[in-house]
């Protein structure tokens, strides 16, 4: 694409190279875009007036350049409205359509406004690298100063995996395939790193990056396991033994339940009799004149019946626990055996940098 006219434009400032606060170099920006020379449109072509290949390339270049200019102008307008997200989008489209190093400065400044310091550093360093000696020395110093100011707000993230050719993403943005040779420049804070490859189980990790430091994250992908056998079914002998245990446990539960019920009924009866005896004791003590022998006899009956009530009540509580134990403990043993019987054996092979290993469940 011919960008000579674009490159020979008067030195633009785009936006004044200050840190975060940008004043209006917009007139210079628009002046740059207006100096882009677009070829004049000729007369309507006829079949006999077919353009040459060189003329066709010029027209394609003109259309592309005009499209880049439109994106750029929209970016300027959006920046003036402080709509930095959309301004960044338009500036990036302008650069992708008609690459020019000066557009990188606008992109970098938008990143600064959006507090994406890693993106700003990467883009402004590209601006300095691609512009080289064409950038005014004063602007070079200011841009380098801006980069230095935000170095403490970024860190480096080094990603390693145990398999090659795995797709690696950071915060859902692709950073290439493993091995990722260089440490990645990222903003400080929390980042989600993910690695995936066909035939492997994808893995992800959440990492914290501290300003000015480098963090290494290791992602291990394991091959997808393959089942090697079907569930084992219990034999007829095992089923018969299990049914016999259940019948025996049921019989014991019935006996224990019956004893519990009898003890509970006896405790209720003993409690009623103890209450009656206690009332008789009160009556004897209230009688005037009182009979000492009758009082002693009433006291003895109350004591004996109270002891009987306590014994029967305690027995009923104990037998309740025995009944529940017989009912649920045995059933749990059977469930554990069923679960062990239904366990599905599987086999998988893990391949890593240290060799291969076999893992399975049997």
Q: What is the pLDDT of residues 34-59, one digit of tens each?
A: 333 333 333 333 334 444 444 444 44
Q: 99-125: buried (b, 16+ CB within 10 Å) or exposed (e) per residue?
A: ebbbbbbbbbbbbbbeebbbbbbbbbb
Is the confidence at residue 159, as pLDDT, over 80? yes
More confident site: 357 or 86 = 86
Query: Of all residues in the chain, what percent carry a pLDDT higher than 70?
Result: 70
Lowest mean pLDDT among 23-27, 140-144, 225-229, 258-262: 23-27
pLDDT at 46: 34
pLDDT, averaged across the chain: 77
Rounded to an integer, what distance in angstroms lies between the CA atom of residue 172 and that of residue 168?
9
pLDDT at 214: 95
- Listed in sequence order, the residues at least 6 apart from 64 whose beta carbon sits closer than 8 Å to its beta carbon are 1, 97, 98
- Listed in sequence order, the residues at least 6 apart from 162 whose beta carbon sits closer than 8 Å to its beta carbon are 218, 219, 220, 221, 352, 353
pLDDT tens digits along 271-308: 889 889 888 888 878 777 777 777 888 888 889 888 98
- Listed in sequence order, the residues at least 6 apart from 91 whose beta carbon sits closer than 8 Å to its beta carbon are 71, 72, 75, 103, 106, 107, 110
pLDDT at 287: 78
Rounded to an integer, what distance in angstroms lies between the CA atom of residue 332 and that of residue 223?
36
């Amino acid at each position: 694409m011919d960008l000579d006219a674009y490159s020979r434009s008067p030195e633009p400032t785009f936006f004044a190279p200050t840190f975060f606060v940008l004043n209006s170099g917009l007139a210079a920006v628009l002046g740059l875009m207006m100096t882009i020379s677009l070829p004049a449109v000729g007369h309507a072509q006829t079949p006999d007036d077919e353009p040459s290949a060189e003329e066709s390339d010029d027209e394609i270049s003109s259309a592309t350049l005009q499209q880049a200019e439109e994106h750029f102008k929209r970016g300027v307008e959006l920046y003036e409205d402080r709509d930095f997200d959309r301004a960044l989008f338009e500036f990036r489209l302008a650069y992708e359509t008609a690459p020019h190093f000066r557009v990188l400065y606008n992109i970098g400044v938008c990143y600064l406004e959006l507090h994406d310091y890693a993106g700003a550093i990467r883009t402004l360093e590209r601006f300095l690298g691609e512009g080289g000696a064409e950038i005014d020395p004063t602007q070079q110093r200011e841009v380098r100063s801006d980069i230095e100011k935000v170095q403490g707000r970024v860190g480096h993230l080094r990603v390693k995996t145990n398999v090659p050719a795995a797709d690696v993403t950071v915060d859902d943005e692709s950073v290439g395939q493993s091995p990722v040779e260089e440490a990645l420049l990222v903003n400080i804070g929390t980042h989600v790193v993910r690695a995936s490859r066909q035939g492997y189980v994808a893995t992800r990790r959440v990492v914290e990056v501290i300003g000015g430091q480098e963090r290494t994250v290791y992602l291990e992908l394991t091959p997808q396991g393959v089942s090697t056998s079907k569930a084992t079914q219990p034999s007829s002998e095992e089923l018969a033994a299990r049914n016999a245990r259940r019948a025996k446990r049921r019989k014991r539960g019935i006996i224990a339940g019956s004893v519990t019920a009898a003890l509970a009924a006896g405790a209720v009866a003993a409690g009623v009799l103890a209450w009656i005896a206690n009332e008789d004791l009160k009556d004897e003590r209230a009688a005037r004149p009182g009979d000492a022998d009758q009082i002693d006899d009433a006291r003895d009956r109350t004591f004996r019946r109270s002891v009987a009530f306590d014994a029967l009540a305690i027995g009923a509580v104990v037998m309740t626990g025995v009944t529940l134990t017989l009912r649920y403990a045995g059933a749990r043993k059977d469930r554990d055996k069923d679960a062990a019987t239904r366990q599905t054996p599987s086999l998988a092979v893990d391949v890593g940098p240290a060799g291969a290993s076999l893992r399975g469940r049997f």
